[in-house]
Structure 1
Amino acid sequence: MNNIQLQKKPDMDVTLVRNVFLDEYMPEASGEFVKIYLYLLRCASGEKEISMGRIADIFEHTEKDVTRALKYWEKMQLLSLSYDNEGNLTGIDFLEPSPKAAVLPEKPAFVAPPKVPLSPDRIAELKSHDDMEQLLFIAARYIGRPLTSTEIGNILYYYDSLHFSTDLIEYLVEYCVSKGNKSCHYMEKVALGWAEEGITSVQEAKNSTNLYHKKYYSVLNAFGIKGRGPARTEKEYIDRWTDTFHFTLDIIEEACNRTIAKTHSPSFAYADKILEDWSKKKVRHLNDIKPLDTEHAKTKVKKQPKTIASNRFNNFDQRDYDFDRLEKELLNH
Structure 2
Amino acid sequence: MGFIIETTEIDLGDTPIENIFINDFMPMANGTYVKVYLLGYKYAYDKDSNIHVDNRTIAKHLDIPLSDVLNAWDFWEKKGIIEKIWENKEDKFNYKVKFLNLKQLYIKNNYRPVSVGEEMNKKTYTCAVEDLIDANQIPAINNMFNEIDYIMRRPLVPNEKQKILEWIYNYNMNPDMIIKAFFYGIEKKGKRSINYVAAIVRNWYDQGITNVEALQEHFKKTDEKYYRYEKILKHLGHGNRLPSVGEMKVIDKWFEEYEFTMDLVLKACENSGKTSNPSINYIDGIITSWYNKGIKSVDEIEEKDKLQNKKDRADYKVEKVKPIKTKFHNFQQRTSNYTAEQLEEIARRKREEYYFKGKGEGK
The TM-score range, normalised by the shorter chain, is: 0.3 to 0.5
When normalised by structure 1's length, the TM-score is 0.38
Q: Which has the larger radius of gyration?
A: 2
When normalised by structure 2's length, the TM-score is 0.35
